[in-house]
Structure 1
């Protein structure tokens, strides 16, 4: 079960790769300033993950108008995530949870990627974190092939306005 609504969101310090080099992103930097959407995806360069983050990238203005910063989180390295973003046209910041600590903290750690035998990842999940640092929306999809309910994510953001 993913972290429950009403829970204080665990802070994290994850790396992203930018043109300037590696940059650390902390969830708490948004507290008091803007809402945050966290999208956990199992693996870079996979079809469903690419479709999801490309779709969100294409509608980023809608999330911004709802006062939200959107981050994708994957267990891949920041260098692999940068290559994926460039190849696929993903424009949201992609954060590397290489040690899987953030997936574990949000209770979306997925052992053995659903029995496929290719390693442990994050499950596909979505969280809305309010400016107060409290989880306002929490969803882990039934399988890694299922997308989050983005209408519900946007509705949760609208309630925080």
Structure 2
């Protein structure tokens, strides 16, 4: 069943681009968390998405939020992707796609001709300090971008 605002956010721990553990439960103790699932590092739409957020990063942090990007890429690929683009936030590796699946943000194996079954959909979630989802957007079309204004509005309502 798809997640909706008001649902509990599935908790997880993943490793980031520096091979450090990131726990959603721990992170949300410091304020709301924006989860941005994306299909793949070094792809044009994903690069545009994360650069858009990076360019407006102060708007997120001014609202007390922490932003993390999540894909099924390895931590090593994510480290290079972050370095090449100068993203000011952590990138998390959901290498087996289990977290994306728990959020309803994973393509099934028919997504590509190669039958890849661990690719994250482009999605945005806002998790408040209580672990409740304040915003949910899962896009089936990987060429579309999340509604960043709506993400910021959800954060502003949570602040």
Instruction: Please give the TM-score of this superposition, normalised by the length of structure 1.
Output: 0.92
Alignment gaps of 5+ in structure 2? none
Cα separation, 2, equivalents of 1:55 and 1:2: 26
Question: Counterpart in 2 of 1:43?
Answer: 40
Question: Counterpart in 1 of 2:83?
Answer: 86
Cα separation, 1, equivalents of 2:124 and 2:131: 15
| 1:106-142 Cα distance to aligned partner (Å, 9 max, x none) | 0111124733426130100000001111000000124
Measured on the aligned residues, the alpha-carbon RMSD in Å equals 1.4
Question: Counterpart in 2 of 1:102?
Answer: 99
Alignment gaps of 5+ in structure 1? none
Are the equivalent residues in 2 in contact too, given 1:2–1:140 (CA < 8 A)? no
Give the number of the structure whose residues are more often strand, by fraction: 1
Question: Counterpart in 1 of 2:12?
Answer: 12
Look up the SS of the partner of 1:55 in the other structure: helix
Instruction: Please list every run of at least 4 consecutive aligned residues from structure 1 whose deviation after the TM superposition is greater than 6 angstroms.
Output: none
89 and 113 in structure 1: CA distance in 2 versus 1, 3 angstrom threshold: farther
Look up the SS of the partner of 1:31 in the other structure: helix
